[in-house]
């Protein structure tokens, strides 16, 4: 699959490349268009602490390269890639080194949210490291019932939040099963973040949600430099350009690395709706 023409088309459309240099080249082009980036080195659920340390070192190199090349961007990571399933203490130590360095150079680390079984541990780690260094934020998935309470606590601690709908298949016991309820939750949490959050990041490709968010901004007289929209690299370039032209800040989530195939297969397997989302955008003009 990784050598097939169709798979290669998928990878070049949604992944910046297999190497850091390729990711930096994409980042420079996006910066030239007025778009900032968050680089994500693909990989998760490592099987040894040695692999977790290797992932940490790749991220340290990525952070240094962003700084040295004057890229307008930061990094985003998954805790399972840093050893969360193997050792809480070692995972914390790995991310500690990265966030410490980010604070030293005036950068920032975003901790991605994985399935709901990781939520408590992820939030505990982010609160711990934010108290030490600042320079770290987290992702909250609005389809979880608990997200309102989590966001209120994060805002009280002045921790930056990226809000997304959620990509994992979760049971109805913990998450809204209907799209209409997820959309309602997203808009309610967006409004809360715009008035109470610290530079919130609103991650969505849903045009109806974006229109409503822009209406919140106009009605609330919220500065357009007080938050940012976030989207995936390769998804809805037309919409991305329009938002930038209208004066909104936009950051793209730019994945890179050799593990692109297992990354996408996991995403597609976890939630069937992801298949249709990717196919629509793969063949969109």
Catalytic residue, chosen from 56, 110, 160, 162, is: 162
Where b means 16+ CB within 10 Å and e means fewer, 227-264 reads bbbbbbbbbbeebbeebeeeebbbbbbbbbbebbeebb
Q: Exposed e or buried b for every residue in 33-46, given b needs 16+ CB within 10 A?
A: eebbbbbbbbbbeb
Q: What is the CA radius of gyration of the chain?
A: 18
Q: What one-character DSSP code corresponds to residue 82?
A: G
Phi, psi dihedral angles at 51 (to 5 degrees)? -65, -40
DSSP string, 93-126: HHHHHHHHHHHHTT--EEEPP-SGGGHHHHHHHH
In the Cβ-directed half-sphere of 283, how many Cα atoms lie within 13 Å?
Answer: 6
Count of C-beta atoms within a 10 Å radius of residue 218: 10
Q: Can you list the positions of beta strands (E) in 29-106? A: 36-41, 73-77
DSSP codes of every residue in 167-198: -S---TTTB--SHHHHHHHHHHHHHHHHHHSS
Active site residue 110: no
Examine the residue annotation and report whether 97 is marked as an active-site residue of this protein: no
Annotated catalytic residue: which of 40, 112, 150, 183? 112
How far, in Å, CA of 219 to CA of 221, rounded? Answer: 6
Token pair belonging to 108: 């920032």
Catalytic residues: 112, 162
């Amino acid at each position: 699959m990784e050598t097939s023409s169709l798979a290669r088309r998928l990878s070049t459309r949604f992944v910046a490349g297999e190497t850091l240099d390729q990711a930096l080249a994409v980042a420079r082009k996006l910066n030239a268009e007025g778009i900032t980036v968050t680089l994500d080195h693909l990989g998760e659920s490592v099987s040894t602490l040695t692999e977790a340390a290797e992932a940490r070192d790749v991220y340290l190199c990525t952070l240094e390269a962003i700084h040295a090349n004057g890229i307008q961007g930061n990094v985003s990571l998954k805790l399972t890639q840093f050893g969360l399933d193997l050792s809480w203490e070692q995972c914390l130590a790995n991310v500690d080194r990265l966030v410490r360095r980010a604070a030293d150079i005036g950068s920032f680390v975003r901790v991605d949210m994985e399935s709901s079984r990781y939520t408590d541990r992820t939030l505990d780690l982010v609160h711990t490291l934010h108290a030490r260094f600042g320079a770290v934020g987290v992702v909250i998935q609005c389809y979880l019932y608990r997200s309102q309470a989590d966001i209120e606590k994060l805002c009280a601690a002045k921790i930056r939040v990226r809000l997304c709908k959620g990509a994992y298949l979760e049971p109805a016991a913990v998450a809204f099963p209907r799209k209409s309820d997820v959309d309602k939750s997203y808009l309610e949490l967006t409004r809360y973040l715009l008035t109470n959050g610290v530079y919130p990041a609103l991650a969505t490709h849903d045009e109806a949600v974006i229109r409503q968010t822009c209406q919140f901004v106009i009605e609330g007289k919220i500065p357009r430099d007080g938050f940012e929209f976030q989207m995936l690299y390769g998804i809805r370039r037309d919409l991305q350009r329009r938002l930038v032209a209208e004066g909104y800040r936009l950051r793209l989530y730019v994945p890179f690395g050799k593990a692109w195939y297992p990354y996408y297969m996991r995403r597609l397997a976890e939630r069937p709706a992801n298949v249709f989302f990717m196919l629509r955008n793969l063949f969109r003009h």
